[in-house]
Each structure stands twice: as structure tokens, then as C-alpha cells.
Structure 1
């Protein structure tokens, strides 16, 4: 009986601990911000401004021979017409022919500058899919409450939205309390070497440090998190790294009627299978932090589980890793993307290869990924090397208790009081990663609303952004600039 009594006491204590931790599982933010008057904004005027920018096919290319800069030049001429005060009153320089860097002089020159980033370039429309678009991808159509076209979200809403906010501030006679850089690269979609990398190198040469950086990456998510009805502003305090590895093997070749026990293709297939069967270890920390910011706006049972991840981590891992979207937030992911073997079905391959793409969670590196792959593959006959020699480590993760995150969160809630704010690692690559040596805290967020429908259009078909959410994004840029002294 005493044993059962003690078991009962322990269960009661455990229940109390779980409930207390659940009650305390909430973000450390100021009280809910109230809406503020940011003046009147003409939604149709803003929509037409963004729509016109989408008529310029500013497609970047990794091949300099195929990189057509003429659409960029035409786009920039349009920007000069649309934002005459910005181009006349704020000094700017052109880097590597098409990247723009503005320096808006602030009143207090003793303080480090801040920077707002976006990119001018877009990905191409997949050949043969043009007819699948509701409206032509480069027509810049405003219809059905949306602005349609390639680049509507990624990322001309950022470029034009920032400039709309700056132009209005200039018209109102605003002088920033500190220096603000505006940077618009032209090759983000192909790595950013000519744009963001060149700008970051310029800051290094000049010995300048940035206190705050804001780029694209996070959005206002709608109907994206099960159990949460409110919209969620996903502010990215960091982003995953990227590397693709090529696994290759050699064989003797010959006729397929007399095959060896294992061909080169079979050896590569075994290596690929081992990688898929042995995923990288799980790290729940970033997902737990994200869920903490959802607080009481998530179902109680879900909150209970994440508040007590120390106890429920096996269950959470099982649930999260079965969904590709949530699995990407808890580990370095493995994606087999390319396979190559023989040239004919009856010819043994002399060479066989696979390319595997890894999106690297902070805590891992390109080097640790390569080491893990070699250990898992465990086959000296498999050569492992970076594909195309490219790779980047995860970015540093910015502090969510910093003034920059707090102000940005407050700005979101001022413009949209019912929106939840939560930090969420960005799964894709942005230009922000190139500034890790010169920026103290970098965040990735653009205040446009993205539901599963809009998400499918980014890099896909029917890219679009709602007129009302684009207006919100412009207001957020405007409010953030007004509070630059707090960042």
C-alpha cells in the first residue's frame, strides 16, 4: 500500500509540474500592442505600383552569358519615376552593374547604421507552364483582390514596399535618427555573389558594423499551423545552411547479361538508401521556441506537450518527423534529387552517381554533414564531394530578446493587432546570410500574408499577393523606419 501511495504522490507532483510548465509556456513580449494611426494609404495606388514592377522580367542566371541585365535597367528606370524623392535625395551607388545601395544619412552619426534588404531578381517561369497561369506571369495584373505575377512575393513586394515607405517619409520631411541603408541585390536567386556578397564586402572594407538587418524570408502565415486560427508573423532569426553532395562510384562496364554481384549503380543506390534510412539527429529546440510564442493561441494539449518536451520528446519527434514541413524544422534534412547511371538499359554503368541536397540546421556545418554522410554510407568505394563546389553553413541565430526583435514584433502588432508573432527558422537561403560578419542581429520578415495557396505560387505558378496584405507590409516598413532609433 505504501508503494502505491508513493506512486500516487509522484503522479500528482508530475501533473502539477506539467501544468505549471504549461502555464509558463508563453513568450516574453510586451503586452498586446494596440493599433496606431499610420495615416491613410491608397491601396489601389500601392497595388498598381507593385503590379507595374512585375512587368519587368528581371530573371537572374548563374551563367554570365545568359544573364540579361536590360530588364533590370528598365526596372530601375521605372523605380526612378515612381520614387523621385528617394532617388534625388538619398545618395546611392550601383554595384556590379545592377545592385543598388542607398545610404540615408541619419542625425546621429555615432550610432551604427541599420539595413533593409530585398532583391530585384526573380526565378524564371517554368517553360511550358505559361498557359497554366490565371493571368500572364509578366502582365502585372491587379484582379480579384490580388496582385498577380512573377516576383509578387519573391521579392519585389519587398523592394517596392520599402521604397513606398521611404518615399512617404521623405514627403513628410522625416529625417532618420540614425543612418539607414537600403540594399537591393540583383542575383539573390543564384547565390548573391554580385549583389549581397559584394555589399557585405564593401562594409567590411569600410569597417562598418550594422546593428540591425531586415531581409525577406518570413511572412504572415495564414492557415499554416494546425490548431491555430490566428495569423502568425514568422520572423526568421536565422536560416538553415545548404550543401549538395555528389556520391559516385565506378564499375567495369560491359553487357548486362553477365553482371557482377553489384553494379556501380547498385552501390550508389545502397549509399542513397542508407542515407534515407539514417536521417540526421533531431533537435527540437527551435520548434519548441516557436511553439512557446504561440502561447495560449494553440490547443492546450499541444501546448502541454511542447512545454514539457523534456518528457514528451519521443512522441513529439514521431509526430513532427512525419510531416515534411515540421520535419525540416527539427533536423538537417536529406533529399536525394539527382540520379545517373548507364546510357542504356542493357549496358552496365562504368560510372554512376547521385546528388543529395542537405538543408543544414544550426548546430551542424557543411563539414559535419560530410563527416556524417561518410560515416553512414560506410563504403570506401563511394566518392563523396561537394556538388558544383558550393555550400554554406547555417547563419547565426539572432537574439529574440533583442531590441530589434521586440520593435519588429511591436510594429507587426501595431499594424495588425490580432496577429501572433513567433520566431521561425527560415528553411530557404536569403541574402541575409552573407552579412553575418557585419550585422549584429539579422532578421528575415516581410509582412505579406501567405496561405497554402500563395505558398504554392512562390517559384511556381500563379504567384500573387493580396492587395490588403501588401498594404500592410508597406505600413510595417513605414512604422519600422519611424522607430529606427529603437533598433
Structure 2
């Protein structure tokens, strides 16, 4: 692929304007627990004026706004192409970073450091800059393109895409196909995601006999808690073994289990009447979810009387997007990548993105961040993206969008 623009690697060469916009976006502190969403909306409003695209703002929950930019196609009755991205980023441990996580420092190798460089402010700006190039070239396409910028993805999406997907304004978008975030790939290949594991966040409550800390009290909460932990972590180890011993499995093909919180007790010398333990489970679409919950019930029953559980999150949809060669959307996507000499690796996404809400309403969605030769650093210290990889991604979208928006009308569209 031909890289466009100028690269600045400490040699005094002018920086590509798209890189400057990317770094400006990184500097906006849209970080939890108090994201600067107003700053992001102001930034996006300026971009919409530069592109000559109208931007609509939809408050889907109090204080939570989805911004929508629209490039209307020449045949707007056709289903649209949705380019989704989230504006929020996760917190940082600044003492673990070599640079300020919101300064967007670029080193001599062209690596741009900052929270959100991979997850997923890069993709947001790549969408925008690809459209800027296409509009500057006077291009028009049959299908409408909508760019959506949603809040709260990093805290589950409940006040973001999950609310928006059921909003009348989403239905007006008439979406036929969506692109959303993926992951970096440290090899020459690019990873694409056609489905996701279901996130289950569960808390197990273990009641027991209280008493003085000097006695051997029977039937304590801690004993039940230990049995629960043992059951969950034994299952975790079995799944890890499946992943480690299979040459064809990726992380998205197995269930991960991680104990994330333990609560209970009031004093050193008081045996508590209840103790809680919480787990983060990520379950692939190949697992029967009802059978899996029955297994959890069995672990609870085996651990002792009175144990209950509740879910903070329990996603039950297992829809995946077709990657068959006869699927028109996948054919358009994959053939364009092939023409760009890109090797694609198809996987189930190991974590959770807003794509799951899009697929849950029956719409095809591909998770894709065009970042190869890049270590996976989302949510990690010293998250970075090289400017050449970033600029190449713009070129990828510049080639993808004309093909996706020219997919022939499907049954029921005209």
C-alpha cells in the first residue's frame, strides 16, 4: 500500500495533518470516571463543519449523547453503512507511563503514546480522514454512510450503544452493515472479528454462621466461599489447558474466568455472616448458555446451603456475522483487503465491544482496527500506535468505503 503524507520522526519533516488531528483527539481527557464528553462533542462538531457533513446529537440517557455525522448517498433508500466508534477511554496509572498519557507524545520512531491510541481514537480519526480524502476527490456513493460516536463503551455501553440501538433515531439510520473496533495484530496480518464472547459479571453470595474469631465455628461463609472459588478456578484452569493445547484455538474460542472482587467481614475477631465473590466470565458463542448457568447453579449447591448469585451483566445474544464468500458484505470487505495485499485472520473477539449490541438486533458487524505490526496494548500502560501504521489505516478505509457503499441492492431494499 502507498502511504500518503509526511512523516515526522525527529528529522524536522512536516507532520501529516491527519496525524495532528489524531494527536489532538488523544489529548481530550475522555477518561473515566468523568469523561470530557463535552470536549469530544465540540471537537466532533468542528470536524463535521470541516467535512461539510451535518451532525446530529441524540441524548440517549441523561448526560449521555450520541453524535451522528451523515454523508448521504446518491440512493438513500438503500441500507446504509455504519462506522461506529466510542469516545471514552479507560483510566491510567500515570506512574507506569513513560510519558503523560494524554499528551500524545510522538517519539523519534514515530510512535504516538496516549490512552486511546489503539482503543479506539485511531479508528475514529481514520474514518474521518478517509472521508475527508474521498470528499476532496469529489467522490459520491450509492449508499449513505453514518458515523456514530458513542459514550460509555468502556463501562459496558448501557448508557451508550445499548440505549441507542433501541432509540427511534437508530432505526432511522436504516443500517445494512457496520464496522466497529477490533484489535492490533503484532504480525504482518490483520485481525477481523465476526462475533464476540458474552460477558457475564456475576457475584456469588455465601451466607454462614457468625461467631467469635477464636472458635471453630461450623458452616462459615468463608468455607463456602472457598468451595465456590475452587470450582470457578478449577474450571478456569481446564479452559486454559484447552487453549494451550489446541493449535487452532484463539482466546475467543474458550471461556475465561477471572476472580475480580471479594467482600465480607467487619473486624478481625468476628466471623462474618456473609461473604461475596465476583467473577468476570467471557463465554464464546459455541457454548450453550443455559447449560452453563446450570453448571453455576450446581457449583453453588455443592458449596453449601443458602448460596445465591446475581448478575451485574449477563449478555445472552450469540449472533455472529457471516464470513462466507457468498455474503455480499463480507465479499466486499475481504476482496478489498485482498486487493491491498492484506492477510486477514478471522476470530471471535475475546472481550466485548459495541458490536455485540449491533449484532443482537440482527445486523452484520465486523470488528476491525487496521493495525498490524503493533503490540496489543489496549488498557495497558504505554499504549501507543506508530504514525505510519495509523496513516496506512486511513488508506485502508479510503479503499474500503467506496466498495462497501457500492454493494448491490439486496432483497427488499428497492
The two structures have a TM-score, normalised by structure 1, of 0.73
| Structure 2 spans left out of the alignment, 5+ residues | 8-14, 409-414
1:436 equivalent in alignment to 2:401: no
Equivalence map 1:206-225=2 (5 Å): 206=171, 209-219=174-184, 221-223=185-187
Residue equivalent to 2:147:
182
CA contact (8 A) 2:321 2:359 kept: no
Number of equivalent positions: 390
Deviation at 1:335, TM superposition (A): 1.9
Structure 1 pair 370–92 and aligned structure 2 pair: CA distance change class (3 A):
same
SS at match of 2:142: coil
Q: Distance in 1 between matches of 2:295 and 2:280?
A: 14
Q: Distance in 1 between matches of 2:262 and 2:164?
A: 37
Structure 1 vs Structure 2 CA RMSD: 2.7
1:135 equivalent in alignment to 2:60: no
Q: Distance in 1 between matches of 2:237 and 2:122?
A: 36
Residue equivalent to 2:234:
277
Q: Distance in 1 between matches of 2:158 and 2:373?
A: 28
1:92 equivalent in alignment to 2:12: no
Q: Distance in 2 between matches of 1:149 and 1:448?
A: 16
Residue equivalent to 2:334:
409
**Which of 332, 335, 340 lines up with 2:258 in the alignment?**
335
CA contact (8 A) 1:241 1:362 kept: yes
1:449 equivalent in alignment to 2:413: no
Residue equivalent to 2:309:
385
Residue equivalent to 1:110:
77
CA contact (8 A) 1:398 1:443 kept: yes
Q: Distance in 1 between matches of 2:251 and 2:266?
A: 35
SS at match of 1:121: coil
Q: Distance in 2 between matches of 1:236 and 1:160?
A: 20
Residue equivalent to 1:48:
20
Residue equivalent to 2:276:
353
Q: Highest CA radius of gyration, 1 or 2?
A: 1
1:163 equivalent in alignment to 2:128: yes
Deviation at 1:272, TM superposition (A): 1.7
CA contact (8 A) 1:365 1:393 kept: no
**Which structure's residues are more often helix, by fraction?**
1
**Which structure's residues are more often strand, by fraction?**
2
For residues 110-133 of structure 1, what are the alpha-carbon distances to aligned partners after superposition, in whole Å with 9 as ceiling and x for unaligned?
32111011111111113xxx1331
**Which of 365, 384, 406 lines up with 1:464 in the alignment?**
384
SS at match of 2:57: strand
CA contact (8 A) 1:141 1:148 kept: yes
| Structure 1 spans left out of the alignment, 5+ residues | 1-34, 62-66, 224-230, 283-316
Deviation at 1:322, TM superposition (A): 5.9
Q: Distance in 2 between matches of 1:81 and 1:247?
A: 48
Structure 1 pair 247–74 and aligned structure 2 pair: CA distance change class (3 A):
closer
CA contact (8 A) 1:399 1:405 kept: yes
1:423 equivalent in alignment to 2:342: no
SS at match of 1:343: coil
Deviation at 1:40, TM superposition (A): 3.5
CA contact (8 A) 1:280 1:333 kept: no
Residue equivalent to 2:298:
375
Equivalence map 1:11-160=2 (5 Å): 40-43=4-7, 44-45=15-16, 46-61=18-33, 67-68=34-35, 71-82=36-47, 84-86=49-51, 89-96=52-59, 98-126=65-93, 130-143=94-107, 144-160=109-125
Q: Distance in 1 between matches of 2:140 and 2:199?
A: 39
CA contact (8 A) 1:105 1:179 kept: yes
SS at match of 1:246: strand
Structure 1 pair 372–133 and aligned structure 2 pair: CA distance change class (3 A):
same
SS at match of 1:141: coil
Q: Distance in 1 between matches of 2:158 and 2:231?
A: 35
1:473 equivalent in alignment to 2:396: no
